[in-house]
Structure 1
């Protein structure tokens, strides 16, 4: 229950207020002066203060000026005044008082106003607690990884958090692009403003503009009321545009105008609205290739890629897998009320050797199920292997070579093309399906003149094995 401090230099009224509020279940402390009240407020971390305005010594208004300015430390103050001093009560409200009560005091009014003040403080403290949890979760230490590639990512993120620059994050699905975007936001000066994510691939083209820019009544069929867009709602904060490569060219054009002019116009509206938004975009597509094929605007690309962060797939940071496994075990122990102590060496080797097409998201799902289903103190091979779709090892002795022989390069070419189809033209995934390094895979694609897929071409002077 909330802590209430009653400040009044009249003993009778002070006693009545204390009794009324204690009967309501509050923890109540009483003070005969503003000076004494300030001491109690500090010591007891008060939630609500009832104070008379006119007292000997420091007045109620003067006391307001001595309260902490930080919202998390400042109680809700209700001032008590007589009819003749309502102007003073209004002045107190301007200085931050929550409400005022007029003498003679009514018991029901007292309990109602104090209840509202206590509820407001409870919501405020809960909001602050949740915000601190978000900051703790998405601070730099919350980005799990000691591998060289992740250390490089963290170093870049640290350099850009205090700036307003736009950021473009590359990475396969499941590598943690939104986690990085949130880390940038919650370590920036904008951390107290909204972080607004939107998945551009998940919203149909005919709705995405309304979601981003908002609309006025009558802008289109079904638009019966004004709706601010996500860009407008993110004012002062950060807008995270996930899978930006899936935006239509028309929407790209309108987004470019927002980035250039720092203003947005709702669909069907005439007026522009100034916005102060940091944009962070993410994609698993090769936007330079999308530009070549006319699917992405070059000018928007350069507006977005002021700073580029490239997240490695899990197979390129396998030394981080034990850290990630321990993190997920702790998370799901808490969620499921389990006490799994860790993972045995055999199971950890299985996870480390696996090719992880779904990256960190898939690893988290595997550990979630393992924690839920495990009967022993530690996760074993049996708890994880059913979730791992291992690549099939091809035994050359199972292939029957015809009498007329085969053209081995044709077989290899077909395997490369099939891997690309199964990987939806994502080169890194296709390389893993064939058990090749990324550079070797590119080398063989170019050797056979296969169209270059989405991905980043290795340096030209790279000599691939095999």
Structure 2
């Protein structure tokens, strides 16, 4: 890297000048500092690619300088120069992140070779950061994560439609991120500085939905004591997002269609036509074609909404995105909860990959957030995951095993499983098999002692004190008090 910026740090002036002369002759841009404190200030004023520093200096020494520069983002590469008597400190600096060290007296060729290798590392790091940035731009749009080819199709459509005023229909199961995509389309559009108003058509009673969308005049119905602006007026100039649009009653669908066609509407109880300049993004968790056939969704409204449709795949059909999503949610919720979780165990990841995710990405995020809160270590373990994930896809026939760590005998009824009931039964089985010793039962269940103790209290599981003695380790029953007599 010709022209690479190097800061030479040494408390001995002649040594600084020798290093400056050698490195400048090779085409590097070299500046100097007489100590660690000055070096920190210089690095704060402008970035250097590489710092070449003496290890032993008064004040802020080379080791402290390494620790400080490793906190930068990206960290500054450091090469140390040291006498033979300080090799232990140099090794310590390497552990803290220094690139390499050279022993004094310095050999010119060794110096230049080490500096060359450092700049090769710098170049590689920059290329990797650039590549990661390109990957993130391609595989992530404002919180929407996925490298699966079907998500790539979603990202491509988002990019294409965002700057238009066309109506967009989002089709996908609950929890796939339809509102997040709608907000992304709005933020990337020319309307981004105007309101984004979201309406969940399935969550508002039929009697109130029309008023919610179009507003009402005073006295339009019982309780309408004042004029009220509806969502179309509130979203003026911006975007209105109608979630679960197929849940609208057919008469309201007809009025909504007139707004889309004529760009005017009336408030409930009003006579005045109000012009509207709003982009509409609608969403449904139904197959819209089937909804039309079933008479739930008006055919003419479907065609008017379906100018551009974006089909969002369920998570079970893009399970290869789960590791990427988990990493994203761990980072997000570790910061928000203040728990420094660094990752997830292979066993826990296998369970997440094996689960069918009926609640899609929303459910996955909730599971990861819960696991972070319950985790007692630096990474998420399988026992931090909820019972429905850990015991998903159990065999239909009972599997009996008396060996430690073996499967428990579970018989799945035709009507399905209540997971809390299943969890309680499994805990009771484990406690009975372990003679009610919590440590042994926790090992069978793959839980920590504290987690099992919490669940025992949660389900109020206690040993029958009339038929079984209590072991000191179980902690489930109290020892009878012993009255001590006097002398």
**In the alignment, what sits opposite 2:318?**
317
SS in 1 for 2:309: strand
**In the alignment, what sits opposite 1:390?**
392
Seen in structure 2, the aligned counterparts of structure 1 residues 139 and 377 have a Cα distance that, compared at 3 Å, is closer
Seen in structure 2, the aligned counterparts of structure 1 residues 359 and 270 have a Cα distance that, compared at 3 Å, is same
Distance 1:139 1:313 in 2: 17
Distance 1:387 1:220 in 2: 47
Written as runs of structure 1 = structure 2, the 5 A alignment for 1:422-461 is none
C-alpha distance after superposition, 1:42-98 (max 9, x if no partner): xxxxxxxxxxxxxxxxxxxxxxxxxxxxxxxxxxxxxxxxxxxxxxxxxxxxxxxxx
Written as runs of structure 1 = structure 2, the 5 A alignment for 1:47-62 is none
Distance 1:393 1:228 in 2: 56
1:370 aligns with 2:383: no
What are the ranges of 5 or more consecutive residues in structure 2 without an aligned counterpart?
1-136, 401-413, 417-487
Written as runs of structure 1 = structure 2, the 5 A alignment for 1:226-241 is 226-241=227-242
C-alpha distance after superposition, 1:417-445 (max 9, x if no partner): x89xxxxxxxxxxxxxxxxxxxxxxxxxx
Distance 2:142 2:188 in 1: 11
In the TM superposition, residue 391 of structure 1 has moved relative to its aligned partner by 2.9
C-alpha distance after superposition, 1:161-202 (max 9, x if no partner): 010000111111111111111111000001111111010000
Distance 2:162 2:386 in 1: 40
1:304 aligns with 2:284: no
C-alpha distance after superposition, 1:301-352 (max 9, x if no partner): 0000001101111111111111111111112112211100111111111101
**In the alignment, what sits opposite 2:202?**
201
Normalising by structure 2, we get a TM-score of 0.52
1:157 aligns with 2:121: no
Distance 2:173 2:251 in 1: 25
In the TM superposition, residue 284 of structure 1 has moved relative to its aligned partner by 0.9
**In the alignment, what sits opposite 2:185?**
184
Seen in structure 2, the aligned counterparts of structure 1 residues 269 and 141 have a Cα distance that, compared at 3 Å, is closer
In the TM superposition, residue 361 of structure 1 has moved relative to its aligned partner by 0.9
In the TM superposition, residue 293 of structure 1 has moved relative to its aligned partner by 2.3
**In the alignment, what sits opposite 1:345?**
346
RMSD, aligned α-carbons: 2.3
Distance 1:310 1:141 in 2: 18
Distance 1:297 1:149 in 2: 28
In the TM superposition, residue 392 of structure 1 has moved relative to its aligned partner by 3.1
Distance 1:357 1:301 in 2: 26
Contact 2:196-2:241 within 8 A present in 1 as well: yes
Contact 1:350-1:385 within 8 A present in 2 as well: no
Distance 1:368 1:321 in 2: 14
Contact 1:232-1:264 within 8 A present in 2 as well: no
In the TM superposition, residue 139 of structure 1 has moved relative to its aligned partner by 8.0
SS in 1 for 2:267: coil
Q: How many residues align structurally?
A: 266
Contact 1:315-1:355 within 8 A present in 2 as well: yes
Distance 1:193 1:139 in 2: 24
Distance 2:213 2:200 in 1: 11
SS in 2 for 1:225: coil
SS in 2 for 1:241: strand
Distance 1:141 1:277 in 2: 23
Contact 2:367-2:386 within 8 A present in 1 as well: no
Written as runs of structure 1 = structure 2, the 5 A alignment for 1:112-191 is 140-191=141-192
SS in 2 for 1:281: strand
Distance 1:375 1:295 in 2: 49
Seen in structure 2, the aligned counterparts of structure 1 residues 290 and 349 have a Cα distance that, compared at 3 Å, is same
C-alpha distance after superposition, 1:1-42 (max 9, x if no partner): xxxxxxxxxxxxxxxxxxxxxxxxxxxxxxxxxxxxxxxxxx
**In the alignment, what sits opposite 1:219?**
220
Contact 2:140-2:146 within 8 A present in 1 as well: no
In the TM superposition, residue 395 of structure 1 has moved relative to its aligned partner by 3.6
Distance 2:341 2:359 in 1: 24
**In the alignment, what sits opposite 2:272?**
271
Contact 1:366-1:387 within 8 A present in 2 as well: no
**4+ aligned runs moved over 6 Å, structure 1:** none
Distance 1:162 1:358 in 2: 31
**In the alignment, what sits opposite 1:354?**
355
Seen in structure 2, the aligned counterparts of structure 1 residues 381 and 396 have a Cα distance that, compared at 3 Å, is closer
Distance 2:358 2:143 in 1: 23
Distance 2:308 2:398 in 1: 47
SS in 1 for 2:348: helix
Distance 1:316 1:244 in 2: 24
Contact 2:171-2:284 within 8 A present in 1 as well: yes
Contact 2:216-2:270 within 8 A present in 1 as well: yes
Larger radius of gyration: 2
Distance 1:364 1:281 in 2: 24
In the TM superposition, residue 253 of structure 1 has moved relative to its aligned partner by 0.4
What are the ranges of 5 or more consecutive residues in structure 1 without an aligned counterpart?
1-135, 399-414, 420-466
Contact 2:142-2:184 within 8 A present in 1 as well: no
SS in 2 for 1:169: strand
**In the alignment, what sits opposite 1:249?**
250
